Structure 1
Amino acid sequence: MALRQRLASVIFPGSANPPMLLTQVSSAWRELALATPRLWTTLTIRTSHPNLAPILSMWLPRSGILSLKLELNGLCASLFLPGPARDAIQPHLHRIEHLTIRCYPGATALDDRALLDLNAAFPVDELRGLQSVQLGRYLLAPGAVTRIQFLQHHPSLRDVHLDSIPTTDVDLPWAQLTAFTITGDDVEEYGDALRLAENVTHSAPTILQNPERDMVPTTHQKLRHLSLIAESFDENPHFLCGLTLPALETLELFDSDHIQSADFDAFIKRSSARLKTLVFSPNDLQYNLDIGSFELEQLRNLTRLELRHCTTTLMASFLRSFGEGSRFLPNLEKLVIECTVERDLVEESRWNADSAADYSFLVRRVAEGVLGRDGMQGVPKCWVHLEARQSFLDYSTSTTPSKQELALYESVRRAGGQLYLSFQQPT
C-alpha cells in the first residue's frame, strides 16, 4: 500500500513538507510514509537550518530512484563549500530535475568566492537531469563580478526563472530554452533575452518599467503563451508596444489596467496573432478598454476569455454584443466574468460610466446575454461563469445570491444554457 503525494498535501495543506508530519501522526502513518518514495521527491528547506546536513542525508535517499525537486531558501554563502551539506546532495545530483535557490534579505549573499563554489557544486556531468531552475533575488552580493556558469551546458535545461537577477550575470543555453521568466525593472533586458531565446514558447515576465528606458522593438516568432505583469508610467508606452508575437495563442494580462485600448489593438493587429485565450486581470478598475478591442478580426478564433473588474460601460456593451451579434467572438467556448459583490461604494457615482460593474449590475445582464447567445443560429454554446468576490472593504454585504437570482440561473440551465454563478470570500 502506498500514499498518493497529493493526498498528503491535502492532509497538511499549510506545510511545505507533509511527509515529515505524516511520520509523526502514528506508527502506522509513519510506516506508510516511509514506504512511499514519491512523497519524498520534493524538499523545501531553509539553508540556515541547524540540522541541514542530517535532513538532506535522511530525506533525499527516501525518494529512491525518482526525480527530485529541491528548493534551498535563505541561502548563506558557505552552503556550497565542501562540507556535510554539499556531501549530502552530491550523490543525488543526477536525479534533480527542478532546482530553486533563493536568498532572503539580510542573509549572506554570494560574493565572488561563493559563486565559484556554487559553480563547482553542480558539475554538468552530474546534474545531467536538470530541467528547470529558479534563482531568487538577493542572491548576488553587491560588487560580485563572477558569473553564474553552472547552467550553461546542461543539455536538458528548458525552463529558467530569474528573479531580479540580470541576465548578464548568468550564462544560459539560450537556444534550448522553451520557457523563460524574468522579474525586474529593465525592459531592454527582457527584449534582449527574447532575442537570444529564439525557441521559447512560454514566458511570464514581471516588469516595472523604468521611465527613462523603453523596450527596443522585438519580434519573436515562436512565443505562444505570454503571462504578463507590466506596470508602466504615464510617460512610457506600454510593454506590449515593443512586442510583435505572430505565434501567440494565450495572452494573460495581469495589471491590465495599465494598457490602453489603442495599444492593445495595435499589438493584436501588428502581430496578426490568432489568440485562443485572453485574460484581462487588472490591479485596479479596468476603465481603459472599449468594446472595439473585442471586435477585432484577429480575435475571431478566441475560445476562452476572462474579464475581471470592468466598468459598467464596457460590460453593458460587451454583453449586448455577446447576446445579439452572431459575428461577435463566434468561436468563444468559455467566458469568465469576475466582479465585486457590492456596488461602487461612492453612492453618487453608482453605475455611471466610470463605476465598477458589480454583481447587482451584472447578474441579470449576464443571464440575458447567455439566453440571447443560445438563441442564435450557427453560434456554438458558450460556458459562462459569473464569479462575485466580496471586497475587503465591506464584510456586511451578503455573499449569498437571492432565491430569485438562483431561480433565474436555474431556468437558463434548464433551457440548455451553460451558466454558472459562484461567490468568493476575500483571501
Structure 2
Amino acid sequence: MNNNVPGFLVNIFVTEEEAREVRRAMEENQQLMASLDAEIERAKAALKNLVNQRSEAQRLLESNTAPSDTEVRAIREIIRTKEQEMDRLETEVVRTRNNLDAMIERRAAIAEESGPSSGVLDEFDADIEGARSVLKGLLTEREQTHDALEAHRALLSPIRRIPPEVLGEIFIHCLARQSMEPFVQASGDQFPLLLTQISSNWRNVALATPALWTSLAINITTASCIPNLDLIKTWIARSGSCPLSFYIEETIQKDYYTEGIITSASILELYAPHYHRWRNIRLQYQDWRIATGFLHLPRDLPPQSLQSLHLARDFWHASEYDQLSLMLSAPHLRKCIWVSNTDIGTFQAPFPQLTTLFLERPVDVKDFMHILSEGAKLELTQFLVLDSDPSLASDSPLMIRHENLRALDLTADLFGPLFNQLELPCLTHISMTRFDMGAHWPHDEFMSLLLRSKCVLREITLNDIDISPNQMCVVIRHASHSLEKLSLNNNRRSRHVIANDEVLRLLTWTTPDAGSNVCPRLSMIKLWDCHSAFDGALADMIESRWKAREGGPPKLMSIAFLMLDARTYPNDLQRLEALNRKRLGISIVRRPE
C-alpha cells in the first residue's frame, strides 16, 4: 500500500480508503487552483486589453487622426458601455429625485402634524441631506459620463477620415470666408495661424498648404513692425510658389526717423526675390521723403502675375519712375488705385486693359474723357474731375458710349459738361460728390444722361449735391423699379434740404396696390443731415418698409442710417428706436448743436 500523497506526508495510521479520499480532495483542489489561476490570467489579459483600449481612446481623443478599423470597433464598444451607464444613471437620478421629493413631502406633513420642534424631524433632515448628497454625486457622474460619451462619439466623426489634401482645401475656403479684407492679419486667433494650434495633424496640413500663406498685412511704425521680420520670412517661405498678396502700411514721418528702424524698404527687400509672384499689392506711405525700397526691385521685366495694384503716396521720386512704369505695364494688371499728387499720365498707364480704376488725383475733363475712351473694359471707376473753364471740354468728343461701365464714383466741380458727353447703358451704381460748393446741380443734363443711357440704376449716392426735393422725386420715380440703395448726404453740414415731406411721402409704402408705390426693392437708405419734415414723417416711411405685413413691399428695408435733431424730431426718434429694438439695422446719430 502506498501511503504517500505527492507533496505531503500522510499519517501511517490513515486507512487506504481515507488516503484515497485525501488524494482525491487534493487533486480536486489542484484542479480548482489551476482553474483559478487560468481565470486570473484571463482577467489580467482582459484588464490589460481594457487599459490599452482606454489609452488608445485617450490618445485619439487628444488628436484629430482617424481611428483604424480595430480602434473603431473598440470605440463603439466603449460608446455602447457608456450608453448603458447613462441609462442606469438616468434611472438612478429619477429614482433618487422621487425619493427625495417623497421625503420632503413626508417631512412637511409630519411638521404640520407634530410641530416644527419634533425630534422626529431631525432624522428626516439627516435622511434628506443624505439623499441630496447622493443625487449630487449621481448628477456629477452623469455629466462626466455624458462628456466621455460625446467625446468618444466625436472620435467617429467623418472629419477625421478626410484626406489631408481635402482638409487643406477646406482650410483655404475657411480662410477666404473669414477674411473680409484681401490681406490676412498674422494673428494667433485668426486663420491661418489658428489652424496650427488645433492639433499636430491640422498643423501639419496647414503648414503643407502653401495657399494659406500667400497673403499678409504688414504695419510699420517708428516703434514696431507687425508682424516681425522673422515671421514675414517664414510666411513667404511657406507660400511655396503660389502668387503673393501683401499690404504694407508705413506710418513713419521723416522728422522722427532714426537709423536702424524697419521701413517698407526692408520689407520690399524680402519680397523682391519673389517679384514674379506678386499678384495683389497695396503700398501706403505716410511720408514721401522716406525711401520706398523700389530700387531693390528688378528693372528688366514687369511682375508677370500682378493683377491688382494700390499705391498711395503724395509724391514719387523720378528715380522710382522706371519701377512704377514696369508695375503699371504688368500684362495681367486689371485693377489700379492711384492715390498721389504725381500724375499717373506721367507713365504709360494701361487704361485699355483695366477693369477697375480709382484716381484720387484731379484730372480735367479732356483727360477724363480720354481715359474713358481708351479704357473700354473699365467696369468700376472713381474720378476727381476739376475744370475751371467749361469751354475746355468743347475739344472733347461729342459723345462717348461706354458699354461696360457699371459703377461711376465722380467728384467734380462742373457735372453738366460730363453728363452731356456720356452714354452709359450698363451703369448700375452712381455716386456724385460736389467739389465746388458754388456749382449748382445740372438736373436736366443728369436726367438726359439717364434717359439716353437707358441704364438700370440699383444704387444712387449724392454727397453735398444741391438737388431740390422736387428733382429728387423725379430721380426716385425714374429709378423706382430697380433702386435698392439710396444715400443722400450733407457731409459738409450745408444743411441743404433734399428729403422733405413730399419725398418722404413718396417713399412711404401706403397701399396694398404695389403699382401705386415706388422702389419695391429698396433695402438701404441713408439720410444724413438733409431732411426737413413734420415730426413722424420719417418714422412713417421707415416703418412702412421695416415691418412685414400683407400688402407691404416685397423686399423689406434692412439698413437705415439717419441723422436727426432730437429736439425737433422726438416722435421720429422714439419710434425709430423702438423699431430698431425689434429688428436691428437702424443707426441714428443725433445732430450736433
TM-score range, shorter chain: 0.5 to 0.7
Alignment correspondent of 1:5:
175
Extract unaligned runs of 5+ from structure 2.
1-166, 255-264, 490-497
Paired amino acid for 1:73: E
- Distance of 1:135 and 1:201 partners within structure 2: 20
The structure-2 alpha-carbon separation of the partners of 1:152 and 1:370, relative to structure 1 and needing over 3 Å to count, comes to closer
Q: Is the counterpart of residue 339 in structure 1 residue 527 in structure 2? A: yes
- Distance of 1:184 and 1:393 partners within structure 2: 39
Q: Which of the numbers 320, 326, 330 marks the counterpart of 2:515?
A: 326
How many angstroms does 1:58 deviate by?
A: 2.3
Alignment correspondent of 1:280:
461
Aligned length: 381
Q: Is the counterpart of residue 123 in structure 1 residue 301 in structure 2? A: yes
The structure-2 alpha-carbon separation of the partners of 1:225 and 1:210, relative to structure 1 and needing over 3 Å to count, comes to same
Q: Which of the numbers 193, 200, 211 marks the counterpart of 2:371?
A: 193
Q: Is the counterpart of residue 308 in structure 1 residue 488 in structure 2? A: yes
The structure-2 alpha-carbon separation of the partners of 1:237 and 1:365, relative to structure 1 and needing over 3 Å to count, comes to closer
Paired amino acid for 1:195: S
- The answer on whether the counterparts of 1:227 and 1:252 sit within 8 Å (CA) in structure 2 is yes
CA offset digits 1:351-382 (Å, max 9, x no partner): xxx843598322223545799x9759xxx834
Q: Is the counterpart of residue 422 in structure 1 residue 591 in structure 2? A: no
Paired amino acid for 1:172: A
How many angstroms does 1:322 deviate by?
A: 8.0
- Distance of 1:144 and 1:86 partners within structure 2: 14
Alignment correspondent of 1:62:
238
Q: Is the counterpart of residue 71 in structure 1 residue 251 in structure 2? A: no
Paired amino acid for 2:357: F
- Distance of 1:45 and 1:370 partners within structure 2: 42
Spell out the pairing of 1:38-187 with structure 2 (5 A cutoff): 38-46=211-219, 54-74=230-250, 88-108=270-290, 117=295, 120=298, 123-124=301-302, 127-141=303-317, 148-164=324-340, 165-187=342-364
Q: Is the counterpart of residue 253 in structure 1 residue 441 in structure 2? A: no
Q: What is the identity percentage for the equivalent residue pairs of Structure 1 and Structure 2?
A: 13
- Distance of 1:358 and 1:45 partners within structure 2: 51
Counterpart of 2:271 in 1: which secondary structure?
helix
- The answer on whether the counterparts of 1:71 and 1:99 sit within 8 Å (CA) in structure 2 is yes
How many angstroms does 1:99 deviate by?
A: 1.3
Alignment correspondent of 1:204:
382
Counterpart of 1:148 in 2: which secondary structure?
helix
The structure-2 alpha-carbon separation of the partners of 1:359 and 1:129, relative to structure 1 and needing over 3 Å to count, comes to farther
- Distance of 1:148 and 1:241 partners within structure 2: 33
- Distance of 1:225 and 1:27 partners within structure 2: 42
The structure-2 alpha-carbon separation of the partners of 1:106 and 1:132, relative to structure 1 and needing over 3 Å to count, comes to closer
Paired amino acid for 1:304: E
Paired amino acid for 2:185: N
Larger fraction in strand: 1
Alignment correspondent of 1:414:
none
Extract unaligned runs of 5+ from structure 1.
78-82, 345-353, 411-419
TM-score by length of 1: 0.68
How many angstroms does 1:313 deviate by?
A: 4.2
How many angstroms does 1:57 deviate by?
A: 2.1
Paired amino acid for 1:17: Q
The structure-2 alpha-carbon separation of the partners of 1:360 and 1:70, relative to structure 1 and needing over 3 Å to count, comes to same
Q: Greater Rg, structure 1 or structure 2?
A: 2
How many angstroms does 1:311 deviate by?
A: 1.6
Counterpart of 2:313 in 1: which secondary structure?
coil
Alignment correspondent of 1:291:
473
- The answer on whether the counterparts of 1:130 and 1:157 sit within 8 Å (CA) in structure 2 is yes
- The answer on whether the counterparts of 1:147 and 1:169 sit within 8 Å (CA) in structure 2 is no
CA offset digits 1:127-175 (Å, max 9, x no partner): 2211111122324138987683213542221111111342312223332
Counterpart of 2:378 in 1: which secondary structure?
coil
- Distance of 1:389 and 1:404 partners within structure 2: 11
The structure-2 alpha-carbon separation of the partners of 1:33 and 1:69, relative to structure 1 and needing over 3 Å to count, comes to farther
The structure-2 alpha-carbon separation of the partners of 1:222 and 1:262, relative to structure 1 and needing over 3 Å to count, comes to same
- Between 1:243-252 and 1:30-39, the stretch displaced more is 30-39
Alignment correspondent of 1:387:
560
- Distance of 1:405 and 1:47 partners within structure 2: 45
Q: Is the counterpart of residue 356 in structure 1 residue 519 in structure 2? A: no
Counterpart of 1:154 in 2: which secondary structure?
coil
Q: Is the counterpart of residue 223 in structure 1 residue 404 in structure 2? A: yes
Alpha-carbon RMSD = 5.0
- Distance of 2:238 and 2:534 partners within structure 1: 52
The structure-2 alpha-carbon separation of the partners of 1:64 and 1:307, relative to structure 1 and needing over 3 Å to count, comes to same
- Distance of 1:400 and 1:313 partners within structure 2: 17
- The answer on whether the counterparts of 1:5 and 1:38 sit within 8 Å (CA) in structure 2 is no
How many angstroms does 1:291 deviate by?
A: 1.5
- The answer on whether the counterparts of 1:8 and 1:19 sit within 8 Å (CA) in structure 2 is no
The structure-2 alpha-carbon separation of the partners of 1:359 and 1:48, relative to structure 1 and needing over 3 Å to count, comes to same
Larger fraction in helix: 2
How many angstroms does 1:265 deviate by?
A: 0.8
- The answer on whether the counterparts of 1:295 and 1:329 sit within 8 Å (CA) in structure 2 is yes
- Distance of 1:290 and 1:142 partners within structure 2: 48
Counterpart of 2:532 in 1: which secondary structure?
coil
